[in-house]
A = this chain, B = another copy of it.
Amino acid sequence: MRFDMVRSPSAWLKHMLGPTAYDSVLRDLEIWWEREGRVITDAVDRARTPWLRMFDSTGRRIDEILYPPEYWRMLKKGYKSGVLWRAFKDQSLEPSSLLIFLTSFYDCGLTCPYTVSLSTALPLSKYGDATVQDRFLNNLLREDDQVWQGATWMTEIKGGSDLGSNVETIAVPHGDCWQLTGDKYFSSNVGAELAVVAARPAGGPAGVHGVALFLVPRHRQSGELNYTIRRLKNKIATRSVPTGEVELRDSEAYLLGPVEHGIYLILEVLNVSRIANSLGSVALAQRAVADALSFAESRIAFGRPIVEHPMLRHQFERRIHDLEGAFALAWEASRLLNEVWRERVPYTDRYHLFRLFAHLAKYWTAEFAIQTAKWCMEVHGGLGVLEEFRVERWLREAMILAIWEGTAHRQLLDALEVIARKQVHRSLLKTIGNGSSAAEFMDVMGDIDALLQRPRDEREYLWEPLGARLAKVAADALRDRLLSMQTAGHR
């Protein structure tokens, strides 16, 4: 049946992309998830927020995160499969994207550690001093259980959108490194051995240009903890990633790149996360569809499985069609990232096009994941709201995917900004605009050009539905192109 490929993430990747160089890696990892991982991630979600053990019995601060041991096994599985080291070995982000997609089908929270580790390794490899790289980078790229993890901590208590005003962590030079003091309020993967952290060098300019990016290890050179974890946050979902609040107090740190480019480095980091978030959102939506499908095939009402009821069948068809579109959009964004991630300021037009895609994909796929997870719960009827059946988990996860790394508002406004400042929507047409939806595409372009004539406030006021149309038409066009490539038998 034509719905079958939604049941397996590797089958779906084959459906959308044809064969890749990583098919056996993907297959092996999928087999592991089906045999062992599925029940582990269920148990981790069921156990809610892990405990934080702050002190050992001698009174020494340790800040240990108490997951069940199998959590660590599950986590390491992805690192060992190559979600990080393959990117550096093969000089391509493609394996990371594929493995993040596959993992997210089973546990989209778990891909956060992978993603932020990648978002740590990339700027370190790109902007870190040789000595700093020597000391830290290889730890992140290990292929065994001793692999280190990374993390990206930008947001403080006053909010994550307006970093220029809200980053209050101060950095002061100290010997051959810096010392950071401040509180990070949303610190994902808070148990990581390394983090990239936004901070404000003392005496620098106010606003966004006074913020720089630093590398902060978990331990000082003396071996002591370099910062403390105030608490783990009780999130409604993504319990596979410990999110905490971090208290930096004269914490040793290493500057990455020039101070005055700090905000660009931070945005580079965030954009990597947005791509991963987009892939994760699509995989999560696929999972929700797969679960809804299994249920609808086994649930009988009015004498037949409910999947055979016309309205529901139609919903499955539309849903899978749109899933293909969402995937195509996220994949295109990840392809572009793979092209441009080595760029530095000043960026090319290609980079700005990537930025547009990053925002559209983050926005559109998260929204799609939410609506799909909600629908999946409805398909399950009353069972959908019971903790016992766990389909409600997908909605919880999706809400976090939508909010992490910038909400829909943020993505839409940033997309509008890159359009307004760089006119990147023009090159969109070139890239994807000549399929069956070309007319609709032209219509959207016209409306955008008209919008750009209006005053800024008005523009923002009116932009949302148009931004949604842009994402939708791009997704549909990319879907058609991608599927026709598979039909044509090449890639």
Contacts and interface: CB of A to CB of B under 8 A. Distances in A.
B295 A57 contact: yes
A190 to B, nearest CB: 14
How many monomers of this protein are in the complex? 4
Contact of A46 (B51, B299, B402): B51
Given A311-B460, A461-B310, A235 B385 contact: yes
Nearest to A166: B301
Interface residues of A, number: 86
A298 B57 contact: yes
A59 B403 contact: no
A4 interface: no
Interface in A380-397: 380-389, 392, 395
B231 A231 contact: yes
A69 B39 contact: yes
Interface stretch (A88-96, A153-161, A219-227): A153-161
B387 A234 contact: yes
A400 interface: yes
Contact of A301 (B159, B236, B392, B412): B159
Contact of A57 (B39, B313, B383, B408): B383
Interface in A424-460: 457-460
Contacts of A378: 402-403, 407-409
Contacts of A234: 386-388
Nearest to A73: B70
B68 A387 contact: no
A413 interface: yes
Contacts of A236: 385-387, 392
A362 B384 CA distance: 18
A158 B303 CA distance: 12
A381 B399 contact: no
17 contacts: A43-B66, A54-B388, A57-B295, A57-B380, A59-B157, A159-B381, A161-B381, A166-B301, A186-B382, A236-B385, A236-B392, A309-B460, A310-B457, A311-B464, A374-B399, A378-B408, A385-B403
